[in-house]
Structure 1
Amino acid sequence: MLKLYGFSKVNAAARGHTRDLCVLWALEEMHLPFELVGMDHPAHDLNTDAYRRLSPFEQIPSIDDDGLVLSESAAILVYLAKKSGRLIPGDRAGEAQVVRWCFSAMNTVEPPLLRLLVLDWTADGNCGKHREFLAGWVNRVLSNLERWFSDHDFVATQHFTVADILMAHVLSSGIKDQGLITPYPGVASYRDRCLARPAWKQAFAAYGARVEAG
């Protein structure tokens, strides 16, 4: 059976925003059975030789699907979509668009959001110029997304795919200052539409009941 390595305990600030939620959401959408292996982050469960064989960078999530080992949330989602035949088109052109937007979520949209988030978390009040630069980067990315969503309900195809799981998660977990997204109602509506899906609500509720703040 597919094993998913996800958090059982994680620091309070990260709880509810970790990337294993993307995989849990996808598995709920796909109705795939799996065994959850809970990892205690404060107890350093990720920093062992055994876990490094699954995830070289000591990160969650990772999977072991009857000996096929994979880490990196985007790679896992594409693998599961192709395995299940769900949340990804069967034609090469459609699949290419999903892969394209999975990369976009992780490599184009998330970096400025994450950098601004970390700066606001760690800044000592002397980073005004740096923050101005990062806010401009965020606004450029969100402006481009806003234009895209003016005539797209979902990011990659006409239907919900794994690319939407990644993009919605990035837009949800990467934005703590809601003022950043307020000028972009199309992006906010897209995010909220994805997060209204029953599979997300079920996955998130189960995560909240299981994962402790450490």
Structure 2
Amino acid sequence: MIVLHAFANMFPGGVGETKDIRIQWALEEMGLPYEVRGLDYLGGEADSPAFAAISPFNQIPVLEDDGPDGRLIIAESCAILIHLAEKSGRLMPADEAGRLKVIQWCFAAAGTVAPVLSMIAMTDAGFMGRDPATRDFLVGLAHRWLAGLERQLQGHDWITGDAFTIADITLADVLREIRETDLMDGYPKVQAFYHRAFARPARRRARELTAERMGVAVEAIA
């Protein structure tokens, strides 16, 4: 059985912004049976010794999967998504070149695009100060990354081609960080990609399940 350790609650500004939703989205896309264990984040459950034993940085999400070779415990959202794609045979090409391209774009989204967009969001929220020069620098990097995504999306709907993959889940979820800015306005293919991904039935279902688990209105979940 697959068990997803996810948020049961979150401080107001963080509701709907957490990475566990990208895992639930993938599980809904793949049709794999799973259970969700909601952690009382506000009550400190993520900081407990029990959770530290399965999450190196006390971060959510974590996935447990009881398979034929024993129980797997996987932290880090990209690693979880790769495991689920390989387990299900879905959202990942079967050929090695296609597989590596999807993995490349998972890491590009999480390791290159995400940090800059997160820092812009944190700067706008006041968590990193409000130095205009710092924001201008970050925005310049963001435009470089967005321009690369725009080129990559030329001629097809999804980031690695015509098929929807875990790389699209990762990238679309990363782009949530700037949804309330105008940064995507100059990149019509990126903007269309973002809306196309979030219109998928499995994403809407993951959103509804996340809202239900956290006891909030579905509109509170981006």
**Matched residue type, 2:53:** R
Residue of structure 1 equivalent to 2:105: 101
Residue of structure 2 equivalent to 1:119: 123
Inter-CA distance 182–77: structure 2 relative to 1 (3 Å threshold): same
Alignment of 1:63-212 (within 5 A): 63-66=63-66, 67-122=71-126, 127-172=131-176, 174-212=177-215
C-alpha distance in structure 1 between counterparts of 2:53 and 2:155, whole Å: 43
CA-CA distance at 1:44 after TM superposition = 0.7
C-alpha distance in structure 2 between counterparts of 1:125 and 1:206, whole Å: 34
Residue of structure 1 equivalent to 2:40: 40
C-alpha distance in structure 1 between counterparts of 2:64 and 2:129, whole Å: 44
CA-CA distance at 1:212 after TM superposition = 3.8
Q: Secondary structure at the match of 1:180?
A: coil
How many percent identity over aligned positions?
40
Structure 1: state its 5+ residue gaps: none
C-alpha distance in structure 2 between counterparts of 1:37 and 1:151, whole Å: 40
**Matched residue type, 1:17:** E
C-alpha distance in structure 1 between counterparts of 2:55 and 2:214, whole Å: 20
Does the 8 A contact of 1:97 with 1:157 survive in 2?
A: no
CA-CA distance at 1:125 after TM superposition = 6.9
**Matched residue type, 2:183:** L
Q: Does 1:60 align with 2:64?
A: no
Residue of structure 2 equivalent to 1:5: 5
Does the 8 A contact of 1:102 with 1:162 survive in 2?
A: yes
CA-CA distance at 1:54 after TM superposition = 1.1
Does the 8 A contact of 1:117 with 1:176 survive in 2?
A: no
**Matched residue type, 2:182:** G
CA RMSD of aligned residues (A): 1.4
- The TM-score, its normalising length taken from structure 2, stands at 0.91
C-alpha distance in structure 2 between counterparts of 1:58 and 1:141, whole Å: 29
Alignment of 1:10-21 (within 5 A): 10-21=10-21
Residue of structure 1 equivalent to 2:220: none
Q: Which runs of 4+ in 1 moved over 4 A?
A: 123-126
CA-CA distance at 1:198 after TM superposition = 0.5
